[in-house]
Chains A and B, each alone.
Chain A
């Protein structure tokens, strides 16, 4: 029963039923939360937790966060290892081993849950090994940390740069806007992946093969979209009367931007950021795959998949090199895209009216 029908059905002489009453009747347990979060955030979170697709997305993201947090439990590093992100190796043999093969050399500590589940106490390669005997299970588990770290750093930094550039450009307009938008166009003139590839390969001599060259490259060429979106939204927010009123009573520019204009652009940016976080991790993995990212043997999904390039002719027997880390990447990206998709539907006012 929709709100309107409930409102229309009230008997004469009865107290007027408002929309708030209806919400209070249908969602009594959440009203406190609603007060706490404010109507917009409440609607966003409520939508996210009730739409099956976004719940799946949230579950996926939670799964990877847990995997990253529990990495030392799921895949305990070697006691002597200096850096847990370096995947432990079982010797140096050139031929990949299938999932379930027994770990022979330099066996790390067996995690406590493994004997309980399997009844065996000898550690195996759960997902097989790559050529050079890097354990894929370790790579996938610890790679979740790399993916989350790179994704969050890239997304946060690009959002902040986009917010700064976009809001300055839109708020001040004039020549400053022209200059900033021309600069944005210059960055957008490049094919994205090729530009990131160039930037990362320039950074490798400085930072060595690590997570930094691809991360910085994705930031340098990734902020432009946010800047454009922020600028567009602010330009329309700027025309509102309450901004003019604020100006008239002498509110400082910085306060106007931060307190009165930016809140209008937060939601579109959230949607974009959710999509882009998945994208950023996929691009990061692609750069690693192409050899301008992390060093060989670092726990990073794209890096492990690049081992498959040596086995193109026999990929059907060595399927586990791409299937496990590949699945991790796809599901990770899918999780963020599902959340982004649902958020866009919730926040899009046009869709809101269609659904009543």
Chain B
């Protein structure tokens, strides 16, 4: 197993290198004039100014030179300081966020994290539960119902579902409010007596012992959580169902039944743990994917998270921000993938003992 983990650890830098090259290659398909906008906020309209910028930032240099500069930054000839360089965490300035990209990321991350945190539990538990129920009642009405739910869920575009949810529960019934907090709660949160430990409203409210604010913040999160659940359940249900069906047809399950164990013990103690092994990987990646990838849900429910920032940047062609956010999400996803693969090795005896 040590060999497996080491091999897996060695793969990471290769993939990470590939990811950065790919991203940089994509930005390099733009011509130097377009790329100058990545570095300079306003290009002066004087003749020769554009050429000076292209010259100054070396936008016509060979690929590898520019790539290296993009990774580690470059020394500004006027001030002698090192600027830029994604490895130093300096991604440049976000035109749409009106902040350096790094700061924009840090202000947006807690919102996405909070959503992923609250949506994660119902997604995983609900999806697995539905899948197990469907498998237990294979080809019975419950299973058929689950199947229809999953096919319809798969065909339902997130943005249409989210807009319908808004139309019914927000515009029509007025049950749930939009945004992140009610006005009164915003005032409390912004006041000096309220300590912002994590920037996540629900967590901070608990830490400040303000249950009223906690409920208010949670109430604002319910519609996005419902949307995410519906979309992800369709996928997790399908996976758990087929994995569970396969486990239920194994010989050891027949043995367990033959020696007279209760059906409940057979499914829950003998079949389920094995059926869940492949589900763990997907569920883990789904939750991590939520942190950087809930572009549509955040945009529609107006949550100022990473996804909505990326969407807004993409819409106004603020390439620097989109590229940086995508790169960040990809790196987070890769690290999560690594952790999950190693966990998987511990979970699955076939890998553990090989």
Chain A interface (Cβ < 8 Å from any Cβ of B) = 182-183, 185-187, 189-195, 197-202, 204-206, 278, 282, 285-286, 289-292, 302, 305, 308-309, 312-317, 319, 322-323, 326, 329-331, 333-334, 337-338, 341
Contact present for A322 and B326 (CB under 8 Å): no
For the complex, what is the distance from the CA of A197 to the CA of B307, rounded to whole Å? 11
A315 CB contact (under 8 Å) in B14, B15, B29, B171:
B171
Chain B interface (Cβ < 8 Å from any Cβ of A) = 11, 14-15, 18-19, 22-23, 26-27, 29-30, 34, 151-152, 154-160, 163-164, 166-167, 170-172, 178, 289, 292-293, 295-296, 299-300, 302, 307, 310-311, 313-315, 317, 319, 322-323, 325-326, 329-330, 333-334, 337
A190 in contact with B326 given A182-B15, A197-B295, A326-B164 (CB within 8 Å): yes
Contact present for A189 and B15 (CB under 8 Å): yes
Contact present for B330 and A190 (CB under 8 Å): yes
Contact present for A286 and B158 (CB under 8 Å): yes
A286 in contact with B296 given A194-B326, A199-B26, A326-B160 (CB within 8 Å): yes
Contact present for A330 and B151 (CB under 8 Å): no
B160 CB contact (under 8 Å) in A200, A201, A329:
A329
Closest B residue to A197 by CB, please name it. B314
**In the assembled complex, which residues on chain B have CB atoms less than 8 Å from the CB atom of A202?**
26-27, 29-30, 319, 323
**In the assembled complex, which residues on chain B have CB atoms less than 8 Å from the CB atom of A317?**
171
Contact present for B157 and A194 (CB under 8 Å): no
Closest B residue to A329 by CB, please name it. B157
A189 in contact with B333 given A198-B26, A316-B167, A334-B152 (CB within 8 Å): yes
**Secondary structure at chain B's binding surface: helix, strand, loop or mixed?**
helix
A316 in contact with B295 given A183-B18, A197-B314, A337-B155 (CB within 8 Å): no
Distance from A95 Cβ to chain B, minimum over Cβ atoms (Å): 16
For the complex, what is the distance from the CA of A341 to the CA of B144, rounded to whole Å? 13
Closest B residue to A284 by CB, please name it. B157
A-B CB contact pairs (8 Å), 30 listed: A185-B18, A187-B22, A189-B15, A189-B19, A189-B334, A190-B326, A194-B310, A194-B325, A195-B330, A197-B311, A198-B326, A201-B319, A206-B29, A278-B154, A285-B157, A285-B159, A286-B157, A286-B158, A305-B159, A312-B166, A315-B170, A322-B164, A323-B164, A326-B160, A326-B163, A330-B160, A334-B151, A334-B155, A337-B154, A341-B151
Distance from B167 Cβ to chain A, minimum over Cβ atoms (Å): 4
A193 in contact with B26 given A198-B323, A322-B160, A329-B160 (CB within 8 Å): no
Closest A residue to B21 by CB, please name it. A186
Contact present for B329 and A194 (CB under 8 Å): yes
Contact present for B314 and A201 (CB under 8 Å): yes
**In the assembled complex, which residues on chain A have CB atoms less than 8 Å from the CB atom of B15?**
182, 185-186, 189
Contact present for B160 and A290 (CB under 8 Å): no
Closest A residue to B156 by CB, please name it. A330
A197 CB contact (under 8 Å) in B170, B289, B310:
B310
Contact present for A194 and B295 (CB under 8 Å): yes
For the complex, what is the distance from the CA of A66 to the CA of B128, rounded to whole Å? 40
Closest A residue to B314 by CB, please name it. A201
B322 CB contact (under 8 Å) in A197, A302, A315, A334:
A197
Q: A204-B317, A305-B159 are in contact. List 18 more A-B contacts (CB 8 A).
A: A189-B330, A189-B337, A190-B19, A190-B329, A190-B333, A195-B326, A198-B322, A198-B326, A199-B26, A205-B317, A290-B314, A312-B170, A312-B171, A316-B171, A322-B160, A322-B163, A326-B164, A333-B154
